[in-house]
Amino acid sequence: MPGMNPELNEDLNYIDEREGSAYSFYTPKGFSRPVRLSEETRRFAYESLGHKYGLDTRKTDAIVLDDEPGFESLSPYEKYDLAVRRIAEKAPVRICEGEKLSGAATLGAAIRHVVPATYKGQTILPSLSHLTADFDRILTMGLGGLRAEAEESLERYKGTEKEPFARSAVNTLDSFEIWLERYVNALEEASAKDQCFAANLNNLRHVPYRPARSFYEAVQSIWAEFAFLRLCGNWPGIGRIDRMLGKYLEADLSTGAVTYGEAREILAHFFIKGCEWICGGDYGSGDAQHYQNLVIGGIDAEGREVTNDVTYLVLDVIEELGISDFPTTVRLSANSPEKLLKRTAEVTRLGGGTVAVYNEDLIIETLTGYGYPLKDAREFANDGCWEVQVPGTTDFSYLPFDSLAILQQTTLNNYDIEGAGTRFPDFESLISAYESDLAAYVELLCGGFNAAYRFGTDGEFLGWNPVFPCTAVSLFERGCVERGLSYLEGGPEYRIRSPHIGGLADTVNSLYALKKAVYDDKLVRLDEFLAILRSNWEDSEPLRRYMLNKYTYYGADNDEVDAIAARILTSFADACDAQNKGYGYRFPAGVSTFGRQLEWAPHRLAAPHGRKKGEVLAANCSPTPGTDTQGATAIVRSYCKCPLKRTVTGAALDIRLMPSCVSGEDGLNALIGLMRGFVSLGGFFMQIDVVDAAILHDAQEHPEEHQTLSVRVSGWNARFVTLNKEWQDMVIGQAEGGDKTFGGCGQCG
């Protein structure tokens, strides 16, 4: 049965004697999940994870605008405003049995990342993701405060080119309130029949119209904004939920307005409601996450420790329910509370990859070094995935590319260079040529954004060219309404387009293999080696095996190869910085693949480090599968030799551990030590997944028995059975070729 633990039978009334609950969630063998939440809340989670509400959402795909007179002649903003209003008026209202929070994104097209409204069978507008909305202002100002700002902006910009956006801001707030009023009416009807909805009704009558007064109201207020943005097709991140909610819970606990257990129940419903788009089935890269990440721990803008009761409640909920749809990153530092480290490790070792870690110390230093004010740098969160940004005030997108393709296809001309040995007489000439080609590619990549800008006749920067309307998001990004500029047209304070180098380990290993085999050990001349690679190692299997096994590559704490990685990343960051023109977008460097190694593989040639044409290779800033031979601590050490302070939006490191490595008290302490080492050595972002490849193989063969098994993919989590076979095979390959032990390292445990 979908969502059922494989150890349970088909009877929903079956009680797992160990857990004492009728509703159990996937747990790795040898571990257990605590039961703290009420049976009613666990039932709600069980149903949500079992596709009940996702399948209900898909029943109504979109709002149809075919009968709107004169639709085709409307301006883009008029079309957008009409679509959002009709969505607010007509989207199904869903009140779930026993829910403690109300509001839902009930149109199926929103799951496809578009505004869920169609005209003549076609959706009319795209939507936005890779952003973290500003939830602080709805908590402190309410919609009333936002409306006052919007109406003032409209008055200020009447008669100017900014008027359409300013008017759209007011119209979108109208639509938001229409949608909220429909839920108030529905809750009034529900409460007349069942008093369990009375609290929901009382909350929604006050928030988000007005500032939140309690923890319960604050959670409902954030949920209402989040649900409305999703209803309009957007996929926003949540950001620093414990920093936002901590003061409300502290106040309520001190007065007895809520107990710790009651607060946990309320927050659990936030997680459960966030599973409302789970539909099951095969969704390519999985159905589990829509960039709705959380960030917990760390310091605030004033440098004060944030970690509070909400921090631990978040970890409690993940630990008990195994919900992976809100990937949660913990901000760790040299001064993090010991309790936070231990709880992070305890939840991490349950698998699923739901909890990752940032090195707060390095990231704040990185951001301030790039020019961010200290207060903004201290407030960093992510973009709904893992790339670092200042939440609520950043227009962010990333620009991924395959660095190995540049080496193979440009620098080495598809391995077809006449007189290659003469052209590259030593390794320095080869790597310098690659750095030059890399810089040229970055310049081309960033130069494509010149079309986004408007210039005067004298070359003066005037602003952005019009882009599709995105007012719902713009309302919740600081700066947009005040400036009369949308999110995509210069409204937010920070406007980032971040080139992301992919395939880094494969490029570094290729260069290192060429250095050793051709220039240092003189096993083969460059011309001969390129011919062998061009033939995909045909008739050269002994050499291929030698290259594969003889040398120690990136990820095994080899200073020589790690120095190449550091050099390439430095050159890349320099090339990115050279594209900052003082106007428009900035182009900070980052490192990622996000699973694109799958789409890159068919276009890759044989690689010098023993890999054949078309292989799926390294992810993010992690080693090529199979080269991480010295354990997790060696991976961390290689990674931390990179100039990570130059990767302003982030460099993701994937670590996979066997469950047996983290079991018991020794395993827990080893995992805590790994996290400490990651911070002390200067890491940036680490996502750990505890996974057994044998379980993944079994889930591939028997998906019905593993419906809630979650794995970390690349900045997001996915229920393994909803990945298509190509993605599943990649995850299995990474687990089989990845780390099995911690390895020895004094600093890393």
- Render pLDDT for 658-689 as a digit per residue (tens, 0 to 9): 898 999 999 999 999 999 999 999 999 999 98
> What is residue 62's three-state secondary structure?
coil
Q: How far apart are CA 301 and CA 379, in angstroms?
A: 6
pLDDT at 5 over 50: no
Q: What is the spatial distance between Cα 672 and Cα 338, in angstroms, rounded to a whole number?
A: 9
Helix, strand, or coil (residue 295): strand
CA-wise closest residue to 592 among 578, 608, 607, 572: 572
The C-alpha atoms of residue 332 and residue 316 are separated, in whole angstroms, by 18
Please tell me the distance from the alpha carbon of residue 77 to that of residue 112, in angstroms, as a whole number.
Answer: 21
What is the predicted pLDDT for the residue at 21?
62
Answer whether residue 561 shows pLDDT above 70. Answer: yes
8 pLDDT more than 70: no
pLDDT digits (tens, 9 = 90+) for 148-172: 999 999 999 999 999 999 999 999 9
At residue 692, the pLDDT reads 80
The arithmetic mean of pLDDT across residues 615-639, rounded, is 93
Contact call for residues 401 and 441 (beta carbons, < 8 A): yes
User: Band of the pLDDT at 711, cuts 50, 70, 90?
Assistant: confident
CA 459, CA 462: separation in Å to the nearest integer? 9
Give the pLDDT confidence score for residue 7 in this predicted structure: 30
Q: 221 to each of 210, 217, 256, how far by Cα in Å? A: 9, 6, 21
**Pick from 525, 529, 542, 547: which is nearest to 626 by CA?**
547
Cα–Cα distance for residue pair 551/529, rounded to 1 Å: 16
How large is the angle between the packed helices 76-90 and 163-193, nearest 10 degrees? 0
Low-confidence winner among 100-114, 395-409, 487-501, 734-748 (lowest mean pLDDT): 734-748
484: pLDDT strictly greater than 80: yes
User: Which is more confident, 96 or 384?
Assistant: 96
CA–chain centroid gap for 336, Å, is 23
pLDDT of amino acid 726:
78
Return the SS3 of 241: helix
Neighbour-count burial for 706-728, b at 16+ CB within 10 Å, e otherwise: bbbbbbbbbbbbbbbbbbeeebb
584 has pLDDT over 50: yes
DSSP line for 485-551: --TTTT-SSEEEEEEEEE-HHHHHHHHHHHIIIIIIS-SS-HHHHHHHHHTTTTT-HHHHHHHHHSS
CA atoms of 453 and 732, how far apart (whole Å): 44
pLDDT tens-digit series, residues 271-304: 999 999 988 765 677 765 689 999 999 999 999 9
Question: Distances from the Cα of 688 to the Cαs of 32, 330, 636, 738, in angstroms?
Answer: 19, 12, 12, 12
Query: Long-range contacts made by residues 246-254, C-beta under 8 angstroms, separation at least 24?
Result: 246/306, 246/308, 246/309, 246/310, 246/311, 248/212, 248/214, 248/215, 248/217, 248/218, 249/215, 249/308, 249/309, 249/310, 249/313, 250/308, 250/309, 251/214, 251/215, 252/214, 252/215, 252/216, 253/309
Output the CA–CA distances (angstroms, integers) from residue 300 to 4, 59, 244, 310, in the order listed: 40, 43, 10, 15
CA-wise closest residue to 533 among 478, 606, 467, 451: 606
* Domains annotated on the chain, with CATH: 39-387 (3.20.70.20), 394-648 (no CATH)
Rounded Cα gap, residues 44 and 46, in angstroms? 5
- Residue position matching structure tokens 């011919």: 531
Read off the pLDDT of residues 171-221 as tens digits, 9 standing for 90 and up. Answer: 999 999 999 999 999 999 999 998 999 999 999 999 999 999 999 999 999
pTM for the whole structure: 0.93
Report the mean per-residue pLDDT for the chain.
Answer: 92
Backbone phi, psi, residue 30, to 5°: 95, -5
Residue 608: cis peptide before it, omega within 30 degrees of 0? no
Cα torsion 276, 279, 284, 285 to 10°: value is 30
Residue tagged 């190995």 (tokens): 404
Nearest CA-CA partner of 43 in 20, 18, 21: 21
Neighbouring C-beta atoms of residue 163, cutoff 10 Å: 16
CB proximity list for 598: less than 8 A, separation 6 or greater: 616, 726, 727, 730
Q: Is the pLDDT of residue 568 over 90?
A: yes
Answer with the residue of higher pLDDT: 36 or 287.
Answer: 36
Residue 11 has pLDDT above 60, yes or no: no
Give the model's pLDDT for residue 15: 28
- Residues with Cβ within 8 Å of 391's Cβ and at least 6 positions away in sequence, in order, are 132, 133, 134, 237, 239, 240, 379, 380, 381, 382
Distances (CA, A) of 651 to 223, 347, 628, 638, 689: 30, 23, 18, 13, 17
Tell me which of 743 and 509 has the higher pLDDT. 509
In the DSSP assignment, the letter for residue 406 is I
Identity of residue 142? G
Quick one: 468 exposed, middle or buried, by C-beta within 10 A (0-12, 13-18, 19+)? middle
In whole angstroms, what is the distance from residue 481 CA to residue 138 CA?
14
d(CA 658, CA 632): 11
Lowest mean pLDDT among 8-12, 361-365, 730-734: 8-12
DSSP string, 615-663: -----TTSPPTT--TT-HHHHHHHHHTS-GGG-TTEEEEEEEE-GGGG-
Task: Tell me the C-alpha distance between 186 and 425, whole Å.
Answer: 76
In angstroms, the CA 640 to CA 387 distance is 18
Alpha helices in 258-371 (DSSP H): 260-273, 309-321, 338-348, 360-369
pLDDT above 90 covers what percent of the chain? 81
DSSP letter (8 states) at residue 354: -
Phi, psi values for residue 549, rounded to 5°: -115, -20
Residues in contact with 71: Cβ distance below 8 Å, sequence separation at least 6, in sequence order? 65, 79, 82, 119
Tell me what pLDDT residue 313 has. 98
The single-letter code of the amino acid at 524 is V
Contact 153, 482 (CB under 8 A): yes
Q: What is the pLDDT of residues 325-373, one digit of tens each?
A: 999 999 999 999 999 999 999 999 998 889 999 999 999 999 999 999 9
710 bridge partner residues? 719
Q: What is the pLDDT of residues 107-142, one digit of tens each?
A: 999 999 999 999 999 999 999 999 999 999 999 999
Report pLDDT for 724.
Answer: 78
Whole-angstrom Cα distance, residue 709 to residue 690? Answer: 12
- The arithmetic mean of pLDDT across residues 540-567, rounded, is 97
CA distance 123 to 116: 7
The residue whose two tokens read 């996929």 is 235
